[in-house]
Structure formats: structure tokens, C-alpha cells
Amino acid sequence: MLRFSIATAFAVLLLLPSCNQEAKKQAAAAAARAAQDSVHWATYRADNWKNHGCELVSDDDVTALFGVDRQRDVLNSRTLPDQAFCLRTWNKPDWKERENANEKETATAYLDPQNSLIVQVFAYPSDEHARQQFESLKRDRRDTYDEDVQGLGEGALWSTTTVTLLVKKGHSMLSIALNHKDMPHDNLEKAKEVAVVALKKM
């Protein structure tokens, strides 16, 4: 009986290293799968951004770029299903005064009490499709997209009438519509800063 116990204990000791090695192999394989999944997820999100539009320019990004106090300024985010879209609104510092001025009969112009930022990504089947679309807008919609913007993506256009910046990158077009400053063209510089943040993630 003692011999059997000693033999069993010895066999268990022999098996332990192989069990440990097998457990280590399984753990390493699981870690590799997880890493691969995270790479695939990052690639998928970068290619599509559907249902992830508010991650492209996050609440933290907006807070840093515009000096927003989320509670005081009532920062809101809204998405659209199955689209790479995010609408954010927040109050201007003098929103109460603006609302009061808008209600007066003597008001000569509407003063928007809110800021708004719409970030959207349009994905095309290929880089060439995106390039053709960009060139088409540049050629045929010059009355709307009236200004070339240098140093962003593979080409960028600005529309003062719609306060929208379009930037081509790969097979995608990034659209940033910003209503922050009262004078429409004054929104361009901040829209460019938003684009830089978004492009780093695309």
C-alpha cells in the first residue's frame, strides 16, 4: 500500500509540470486571441465607425477643445443608429442673455444660445471612389465648398455657408459641422482642431 501511494505521488509530481505547461500554453493562446480580436476590432472601427461616431471625437475631446463644463454647459451627445454620426450641443456662456435678447421685439438678428458640433464619417468602397467624390464636390459644388484647406488629410474643403469642413482620408470622408462662433467663417480654425483629433483615430 505504501509503495502504491509513493508511486501515485511520484506520478502526480511528474504530471504537474506538463499540466502547468499546458495551462501556460492555453493562457498564452487566449492572450494571443484577445490581442488579435482587439486589433480586428480597432481595424473594423477605424474602417466603419458605424455606431461609434461619438468615440471619434469624444466628450473628453470636446471638453478639452472648447473648455466645456459638462454640467454647467449641459453637454449633450446624440447618435444615429447604424451611422458614423455624432451630434453634440452645449450652452454658450451667455446663453441666458442671448435668449432674452431673442425674445425682444427689437431684436435685429437671432443669437444662437447653443453651440453645436456634428461629426460624421462617410465611407466609400475604395480610396478611388472617395477621391472621385472629393474632386466632384471641389469642382461642382464650389458655390458651397468655397475654400481649400491645407494640411489636413489628403485634401480638405470648407463651406462658410454650412459651417462644414470636409476632409478626405483613405476611403473615407470626414465631415465636421461646427456652429461655435457667431461669424460663420470664424468656425474654421476650431473645426480644423477637431479634425486633427478625429484624423488621428481614423
Q: What digits encode the pLDDT tens for the residues 111-138?
A: 889 999 999 999 888 899 999 999 999 9
**Residue 9 identity (one-letter amino acid):** A
Cell of 200: 488621428
Which letter does DSSP use for residue 105 in this model?
T
Q: What is the largest CA-CA distance in the chain?
A: 106
CATH class of the 52-201 domain in this structure: alpha beta
Q: Reduced to 3 states, what is the DSSP secondary structure of residue 116?
A: strand
Domain spans in the chain, listed from the N-terminal domain onward: 1-48, 52-201
Contacts of 95 (CB under 8 A, 6+ apart): 113, 114
Q: How far is 76 from 201, CA to CA, in rounded Å?
A: 22
Q: Which of 91, 115, 93 is closest to 187 using CA atoms?
A: 115
Beta-carbon count within 10 A of 133 CB = 15
Q: Identify the helix (H) or strand (E) that includes residue 164.
A: strand 164-169
Residue 15's pLDDT is what? 44
Q: Which of 106, 76, 112 is closest to 92 using CA atoms?
A: 112
Residue 10's pLDDT is what? 42
Give me the residues of the chain with pLDDT under 50, please: 2, 4-16, 19, 34, 37-44, 46
Residue 108's pLDDT is what? 78
Residue 118's pLDDT is what? 97
**Residue 66 identity (one-letter amino acid):** F
Report pTM. Answer: 0.74
Q: Reduced to 3 states, what is the DSSP secondary structure of residue 4?
A: helix
Residue 110's pLDDT is what? 86
Q: How many degrees, rounded to 5, is the angle at CA 77 between CA 111 and CA 191?
A: 60
Note whether 56 and 84 are within 8 A (CB). yes
